[in-house]
Structure 1
Amino acid sequence: MPIMKKIAYSIFALVASANMATAQAKHEDTEFYTPVPPVVTPTSANFAAPPKDAVVLFDGKSLNNWVTTNDTTKPATWDVSGGVMTVNKTGGNIQTKQSFQDYQLHIEWKIPSNITGTSQGRGNSGLFLASIGKGDAGYELQIMDSYNNPTYVNGQAGSVYKQYAPLVNPNLPPGQWQSYDVAWKAPRFNEDGSLLSPARVTVFFNGILVQNNVELKGPTQYVGQPSYKKHNPANPIKLQAHGDKSEPISFRNIWIRPA
């Protein structure tokens, strides 16, 4: 076979092999069910008031600091009542108007007491620590009902979705307010687009450590393995309006301290 034909055939084979691998990838490939994090019962969540130097992202009164993710020229349209904002699934994901790089974040959330469904279809949402595109693109800390609700461990509440299961399961029952306290360090990239330093995150869930300075493998991927591609280290923070059919989640007392 002439050399040019050999080269062309080799390239074709590599492309075909890559396409086949992508076509065969399934979301189940990155879902793990063991080891199951031990259940730890917190005395209560951490309902910390904003420090004086904090930026208040939700004060219980309005969504002035939020926009719609798929069209950031439009205001967020979730429901606000009684000091609480509740997911409006027709409004889609929402994200902050401001972008943040490294920070400390506090957020409180509640699964409705009349929640239904099982596994990932039970009170599913997500806190995206950096939103790097429309839809569900970014780095997700999972929010859902994981109180007596088995699912894959790297998809339960407190997990870095599809990457790290929580160290323990400190979920409170549906109908009770819960809290995340997050320390986030954004990834950095070299001029040529290569990774200089990966993202890192520490998470306290209801006052209990569930992620201890873990090194993220890249942005969240539902199918396939995560990997890094150069992006701005400063990005909005996003909340997910998940497509499951269960009752929507509520949020309150959201504030951030840029590092």
Structure 2
Amino acid sequence: MKFPLSRGWNARWCRVLGLSLGWTAVAAQTPLPLTDLSSFRNPSKSWSIVGAASGTPQDAALKGASGTGVLLATPGKLYNQADYLVTKFEHGDMNISLDFMLPKGSNSGVYLMGRYEVQLYDSWGVQNPKSIDCGALYERWDDKRTPSGYEGHAPRLNASRAPGLWQHLEIAFKAPKFDASGKKISNARFVKVVLNGTIIHENIDVFGPTRASLYNDEKARGPLVLQGDHGPVAFRSVSYELLDKAPLVAGPVEYAFYSGKYSVIPNLDTLKAKPVRTGTVEKVNSTLADGKSDYLLVFNGKLTAPDADQYQLIVQWTGKGRLVVDGKNVFEGDLWYDKPKTVDVTLSKGEHTYSLLQAKDFSWAPKVIGFYAERKGGNLQELHGFGSVPDVDPVPVIAVEPKNEAEQVRSFVWKPGFTAGDANKKLRVLHVGDPTGVHYSYDLDQASLLVSWRGGFINMADAWHERGEAQTSEPLGAVLPLWATAPVGAEGSATPDSTAGLIYKGYRLDGQGHPTFTYQLAGAEFTDFIQPYESGKGLSRTVSLKGGSGLEYRLAKGRTIASVGKGLYLVDGIFYVQTTARVRIVPNNGQQELRAAGGAPVQYELIW
């Protein structure tokens, strides 16, 4: 389901609604085959297919392993456009997702239509990113201007990770449009760019090709281009969806407005009430009802399908409603305004009738009717009129930011992968923010790091605004999900979701406000001290055991853990563990863990 930002909606409101903001699930995309280079036009010798790529934070090159599935560029002569990798397919509107890896100091880019660049750059540790940094929409260029570079867009924040780590990029893009005479009537637009799970751009028009683009003109279609002449780079898991299928055509809508309380959606054939008014309008619209409640709206319209296909019709309303297509009831039920419902319908080519009925018999909550349509390979259509999904009262950002020392705040945290609900919350979580710009959330019940992030500290609006019903909070930076289990346990035991017998005893602060957490476990005292590593490039953690026996430390877990250098371990390709301690990699419940013997304190760094 792909939802653009509607008029007046902010990103936070759309997250509350659960809408995906102009997005296509990766499952709906077509993978770009990477078994060989046959998907590309005349690839240069600087590109090869490998089975894996690897690096470290210090290496200026990437290593490739035998196999398939990964694109690796090892440029020879710099700034040679012959080393650009150009797809055979061309695109207009498109959604794309991919993983990329850069070594230390490297530079690359993804050019939509071969013209508009999303910059890929080693921006690890940059505090205030510019239009040359990773994720930026790169500048246009004119030697006659001062300065020569112009119209670049820096990312909202630096969401990039350390060299040698896989990073994930998603782009929703609209191509420029032209009239029959070839005159441009709308600019190319980056609807959304997401780097490592963080939105860094939304709805930005670009007025012409980027510097160093493959083409200097603008057209309705062009190839995807990967820059391979500025430095080593690797790509994998490249997939895309071309959004070039024609939309449904919606005609005028006949409506009837009834006043009164409707506890159920009535059968219109037996409805005795007379409508207050009727008429014909361009689109479905909730504003056609008087007042906030005690009404029934009935809409009858037609949709013309350009092709026989499966379509998704998405409805959104407050109260009760029914959607009927070609005389068949495809959905009926109560909806809350922030919970849209998606219905799959198969439509033959040609004209189809629909009816949408909506009733509201309570005055609280906004009056809303949203009606959308889309299909795979097509853009989302908004079939309701302006004002039908009204702006909501803005919820302020209540930001907590550390100044001269670390800050600590408490809130609940939703468990990942679970729906909202008190049973799916972590209830004893401490969030620690540091002036260096690296922060973390700590589960006090489990002695575990849940997430860490860079950028702003935390938004407490859901806990502190008005009634603060959710009592949750929101990181204000680029999040690294850790969600680890307890870092200490019995030797050789499986890692449970919580450690039996682990008793929280509190924490004490050092002179900079960093806590040392204290626990009792199996007759031992366990302490856990966490502080920033190298001005925000990661976290340094020191764990210690006093007394007890048969316990060991668990430094990390993941699907895969690999040694990539002396004392340096790569976890799932997305973060490093660095330590001088003697450790071992052991299997556990289908995953792997990095463990060290209990007893003497162990210090290690989480680097990303």
Q: What's the TM-score once normalised by structure 2's chain length? A: 0.28
Q: Give the alignment partner of residue 124 of structure 2, picking from 147, 155, 160.
A: 147
Correspondence for 1:218: 208
For the pair 1:86 / 2:72, whether they are aligned, the reply is: yes
SS at match of 1:166: coil
| Larger deviation, residues 194-203 vs 148-157 | 148-157
Alpha carbons of structure 1 residues 204 and 85: separation in structure 2 relative to 1, 3 Å: same
How far does residue 65 in structure 1 lie from its aligned partner after superposition? 0.9
SS at match of 2:125: coil
How far does residue 150 in structure 1 lie from its aligned partner after superposition? 7.4
CA contact (8 A) 2:74 2:233 kept: no
CA contact (8 A) 1:57 1:255 kept: yes
| Larger deviation, residues 185-194 vs 101-110 | 185-194
Identity of aligned residues (%): 29
Q: Give the alignment partner of residue 98 of structure 2, picking from 107, 114, 119.
A: 107
Write the deviation string for residues 120-160 of structure 1: whole angstroms up to 9, x where unpaired: xx2101100111xxxxxx11110111112579711111111
Correspondence for 1:175: 164
Distance in 2 of aligned mates of 1:242 and 1:234:
24
CA contact (8 A) 1:49 1:253 kept: no
Q: How does 1:12-31 map to 2 (within 5 A)?
A: none
Alpha carbons of structure 1 residues 194 and 85: separation in structure 2 relative to 1, 3 Å: same
Amino acid at match of 2:163: P
Write the deviation string for residues 60-113 of structure 1: whole angstroms up to 9, x where unpaired: x2222112xxxxxx245412111321113246111110001111100100112x
Q: How does 1:1-259 map to 2 (within 5 A)?
A: 50-51=26-27, 53-59=28-34, 61-67=35-41, 74-77=42-45, 78-82=47-51, 83-90=69-76, 92-112=83-103, 115=104, 122-131=105-114, 138-149=115-126, 153-162=130-139, 163-201=152-190, 202-221=192-211, 229=217, 231-243=218-230, 248-259=232-243
Correspondence for 2:327: none
Distance in 1 of aligned mates of 2:201 and 2:127:
19
Gaps of 5+ in 1: 1-47, 68-73, 116-121, 132-137, 223-227
| Structure with the greater alpha carbon radius of gyration | 2
Write the deviation string for residues 9-29 of structure 1: whole angstroms up to 9, x where unpaired: xxxxxxxxxxxxxxxxxxxxx
How far does residue 175 in structure 1 lie from its aligned partner after superposition? 1.3
SS at match of 2:169: strand
Gaps of 5+ in 2: 1-23, 52-68, 77-81, 140-151, 244-608
Work out the number of aligned pairs and report it.
Answer: 182
CA contact (8 A) 1:66 1:76 kept: no
SS at match of 2:237: strand
> Which structure has greater helix proportion?
1
Amino acid at match of 2:30: V
How far does residue 57 in structure 1 lie from its aligned partner after superposition? 1.5
Whose relative contact order is higher, 1 or 2, with alpha carbons under 8 Å and at least 6 apart?
Answer: 1
> Which structure has greater strand proportion?
2
CA contact (8 A) 1:153 1:165 kept: yes
| Larger deviation, residues 83-92 vs 171-180 | 83-92
Q: What's the TM-score once normalised by structure 1's chain length? A: 0.64
CA contact (8 A) 1:63 1:76 kept: no
CA contact (8 A) 1:178 1:206 kept: yes
Alpha carbons of structure 1 residues 169 and 188: separation in structure 2 relative to 1, 3 Å: same
CA contact (8 A) 2:189 2:206 kept: yes
Amino acid at match of 1:57: L
CA RMSD between the two structures: 2.5
